């Protein structure tokens, strides 16, 4: 918690305080040190929450990484698509939610089919296909403009849903197949945890990327209006925090609608950069799936000691002992 909280807060506030500010650097050091301390404890304790030896298996390591990457790429972008549809295109929360239905429906239909396919041919190719499809859908969103109609985007949502649905069940099956049956719950929990961590860092890091490039592009675009420097900084600061555009103080010779349009264009530019980063993360996941996920790499069964197994072993030992010793 200390590690994740420190790193996420540092990513979120880095654009406000500066990437080299004492606060951001201190939080980063605390986050990294806490993570290293956690790994050291897990490696040396007798009863670790997560046996790190599992990560020596390429399929387990790749599957867990893919879980984080798909959440990083997908959930981070969902956040900004929400802002795009509501703040720029003016949809209500209900209207925006309805426009995500193709993605949700595609996941519902694709996920069980992908699980059946993985049961026949293994998890490698469904995962590779799904990550590639999601990356393609992400890259196609790069053509989005402030005025792009939904009719040109709904099938992108469909592609993203097919990609995401094709990954989830095969990914879980791949990870759990690499550990002893008694540890399957732990392996499944690992994929859930990495998905959550990936989603958190996706929103935090992609948020920092969008904010940085949005502010940079807006600052450059406002030069064309020859505004006073203080007014330009005020518009950039307020727009970056979603607090308005200060258009009331813009000189009367400038149409406020032009300022609004410039802000919208700059936000979409920042979103395009984040889309590229997300697509790159998803393509990395596709490569990991295709190279490191193998079929049939089930780990050696191990005995998990419980009071019942210990008692049974003791009874068996007494029963096997010579009559004289048993007496």
Radius of gyration from C-alpha coordinates of the chain: 26
Asked if the structure places residue 313 within a domain, the reply is: no
Q: How many domains does the chain have?
A: 2
Residues 238-245 have a mean pLDDT of 66
Domain match, 165 and 20 both: no
**Percent of the residues in the chain that have a pLDDT greater than 70, as a whole number:** 86
pLDDT at residue number 31: 87
Asked if the structure places residue 7 within a domain, the reply is: yes
Q: What is the pLDDT of residues 273-300, one digit of tens each?
A: 999 999 999 999 999 999 999 865 444 4
Domain match, 38 and 86 both: no
Q: How crowded is residue 154: how many other Cβ atoms within 10 Å of its Cβ? A: 14
Domain match, 81 and 201 both: yes
Q: Has residue 243 got a pLDDT over 60?
A: no
Within 13 Å of residue 150, how many CA atoms lie on the same side as its CB? 16
pLDDT at residue number 295: 67
Domain match, 32 and 125 both: no
Domain match, 13 and 127 both: no
Domain match, 67 and 156 both: yes
Assess contact for 289 and 62: CB atoms under 8 A: yes
Q: Has residue 304 got a pLDDT over 50?
A: no
Assess contact for 177 and 297: CB atoms under 8 A: yes
pTM for the predicted model, two decimal places: 0.81
Please provide the average confidence, as pLDDT, over all residues in the chain. 84
Q: What is the pLDDT of residues 203-241, one digit of tens each?
A: 888 988 998 999 999 999 988 888 888 888 888 888 877
Domain match, 38 and 154 both: no
Asked if the structure places residue 242 within a domain, the reply is: no
Q: Has residue 127 got a pLDDT over 60?
A: yes
| CATH assignment at residue 301 | 1.20.1250.20
Asked if the structure places residue 11 within a domain, the reply is: yes
Q: Has residue 129 got a pLDDT over 60?
A: yes
3-state secondary structure the chain: CHHHHHHHHHHHHHHHHCCCCHHHHHHHHHHHHHHHHHHHHHHHCCCCCCCHHHHHCHHHHHHHHHHHHHHHHHHHHHHHHHHHHHHHCCCCHHHHHHCCHHHHHHHHHHHHHHHHHHHHHCCHHHHHHHHHHHHHHHHHHHHCCCCCCHHHCHHHHHHHHHHHHHHHHHHHHHHHCCCCHHHHHHHHHHHHHHHHHHHHHHHHHHHHHHHHHHHHHHHHHHHHHCCCHHHHHHHHHHHHCCCCCCHHHCCCCCCHHHHHHHHHHHHHHHHHHHHHHHHHHHHHHHHHHHHHCCCCCCCCCCCCCCHHHHHHHHHHHHHHCCHHHHC
**Percent of the residues in the chain that have a pLDDT greater than 90, as a whole number:** 46
Domain match, 135 and 9 both: no
Q: How crowded is residue 145: how many other Cβ atoms within 10 Å of its Cβ? A: 12
Domain match, 104 and 189 both: yes
pLDDT at residue number 167: 95
Domain match, 33 and 76 both: no
Question: Residue 194 sits in which domain range?
Answer: 53-208+280-307
Asked if the structure places residue 83 within a domain, the reply is: yes
Asked if the structure places residue 251 within a domain, the reply is: no
Asked if the structure places residue 10 within a domain, the reply is: yes
Domain match, 193 and 67 both: yes
Asked if the structure places residue 38 within a domain, the reply is: yes
Residues 70-81 have a mean pLDDT of 85
Domain match, 17 and 74 both: no
């Amino acid at each position: 918690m200390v590690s994740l909280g420190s790193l996420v807060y540092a990513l979120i506030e880095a654009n406000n305080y500066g990437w080299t500010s004492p606060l951001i650097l201190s939080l980063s050091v605390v986050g990294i040190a806490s993570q290293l301390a956690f790994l050291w404890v897990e490696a040396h304790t007798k009863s670790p929450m997560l046996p790190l030896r599992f990560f020596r298996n390429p399929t387990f390591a790749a599957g867990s990484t893919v879980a984080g990457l798909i959440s990083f790429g997908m959930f981070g972008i969902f956040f900004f698509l929400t802002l795009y549809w509501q703040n720029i295109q003016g949809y209500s929360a209900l209207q925006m939610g309805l426009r995500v239905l193709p993605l949700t429906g595609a996941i519902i239909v694709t996920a069980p089919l992908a699980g059946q396919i993985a049961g026949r041919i293994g998890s490698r190719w469904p995962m590779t296909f799904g990550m590639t499809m999601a990356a393609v859908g992400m890259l196609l969103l790069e053509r989005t403009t402030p005025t792009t109609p939904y009719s040109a985007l709904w099938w992108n949502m469909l592609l993203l849903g097919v990609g995401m649905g094709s990954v989830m069940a095969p990914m879980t099956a791949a990870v759990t197949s690499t550990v002893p049956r008694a540890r399957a719950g732990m392996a499944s929990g690992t994929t859930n945890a990495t998905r959550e961590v990936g989603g958190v860092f996706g929103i935090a890091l992609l948020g920092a990327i969008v904010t940085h490039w949005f502010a940079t592009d807006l600052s450059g675009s406002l030069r064309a209006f020859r505004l006073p420097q203080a007014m330009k900084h005020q518009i950039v600061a307020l727009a970056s925090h979603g607090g308005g555009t200060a258009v009331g103080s813009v000189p009367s010779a400038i149409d406020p609608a032009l300022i609004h349009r410039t802000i919208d264009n700059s936000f979409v530019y920042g979103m395009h950069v984040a889309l590229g980063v997300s697509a790159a993360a998803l393509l990395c996941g596709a490569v990991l799936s295709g190279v490191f996920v193998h079929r049939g790499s089930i780990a050696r069964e191990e005995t998990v000691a419980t009071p019942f197994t210990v008692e049974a072993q003791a009874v068996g030992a007494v029963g096997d002992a010579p009559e004289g010793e048993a007496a």
